[in-house]
Amino acid sequence: MTTALPNPNRFFVEVVSSSTICTSYFESTRINIRVTNSSKESTLLESATLQFQPDTGAAPNYVDFHPGLRLSPKESKTVEVDVTPVPSYQEYTNQFKIRLKGHAESRGRLGDSFSELHGGFYIIINPSAASLGEVFVSFKQPEDQRIANILERYARRAGFTPRLFMRRPELGEKQWEQIETLIGQCHSVVIVWGLRTEWGEGVEREIDLCRKHCCREILLIAEGVEPPKNYDSTIAYQRFDPVEPAEGLSRTMASLRDQVVKSSAP
């Protein structure tokens, strides 16, 4: 399959593949980009950037490369770009654009730099096929539910089975027994500590349960907020932007995935 977009100026750009480019989160895939100099001048292709669709509320994702190619008129060359999607990439059909930067060459001299944007390309990104166990997401304040929902989505993309107590249909008087059972089934607990979390004791109690069951502890603290009182200073924590949290939460799941994969390696 060849996906192409003609360029009226200097380049004709194609993403060349025998079939739809399909990958999974955290799986590296190679994209072959064929660039044809459609101008009448030799051209130096200095750099290129791929911009991938972001997840809801996230910033776009970029992959830069520097081919340093010299193309004579009508000449074509193919460059290979390796892309590894992280959870902040939009799932399934992910459209991307390619921006090329270069210089025209005339009589042995380089002219002013130029930049061209090419669109109409896509890849398919599936959830990770890995089965990396269960992760409990701890939060209590209503304003932190958005953060928990993003963590749940990103955890699935990373190959985890996320557990949120609010997803349990049998809420009742024995909720703390149910919460402890859930935490005991998980190898890791991601704790969301936001601006008003300290107003309730629920999250601190879940931290204690996490330590009781020897779970891996991942503490996410909103920027400008003090850590919880029962925080163990020997355990690293990560800050997140409560307004634009996607990038920080994506890094958190990537880091957790890396830890779990390394700990399970023979």
Each residue of 51-81: pLDDT tens digit? 999 998 899 999 999 888 899 999 999 999 9
Mean pLDDT computed over 176-186: 90
**Joined tokens for residue 164:** 């949120």
pLDDT digits (tens, 9 = 90+) for 151-160: 999 999 999 9
Determine the pLDDT at residue 171. Answer: 54
Q: Report the alpha-carbon distance of residue 259 to residue 254 in Å, rounded.
A: 9
> What is the separation, in whole angstroms, between the first and last Cα of the chain?
39
Domains of the chain: 2-126 (2.60.40.1470), 134-264 (3.40.50.2300)
> For the whole model, what pTM was predicted?
0.84
Report helix, strand or coil for 149.
helix
Q: How far is CA 126 from CA 30, 130, 139, in A?
A: 15, 11, 27
Amino acid at 22: C
**Joined tokens for residue 177:** 């027994």
Determine the pLDDT at residue 6. Answer: 45
Determine the pLDDT at residue 4. Answer: 47
CB 87 within 8 A of CB 253: yes
Q: Is the pLDDT of residue 42 over 50?
A: yes
Report helix, strand or coil for 215.
coil
Q: Is the pLDDT of residue 198 over 50?
A: yes
Determine the pLDDT at residue 195. Answer: 77
Q: Is the pLDDT of residue 167 over 70?
A: no
Under 8 Å CB-to-CB from 61, ≥6 apart: which residues?
51, 52, 53, 54, 85, 86, 88, 89
Comparing 50-54, 162-166, 199-203, the range with the smallest average pLDDT is 199-203
Where residue 5 falls among pLDDT bands split at 50, 70, 90? very low
CB 153 within 8 A of CB 59: no
Comparing 90-99, 141-150, 199-208, the range with the smallest average pLDDT is 199-208
Where residue 227 falls among pLDDT bands split at 50, 70, 90? confident
**Joined tokens for residue 173:** 């008087």
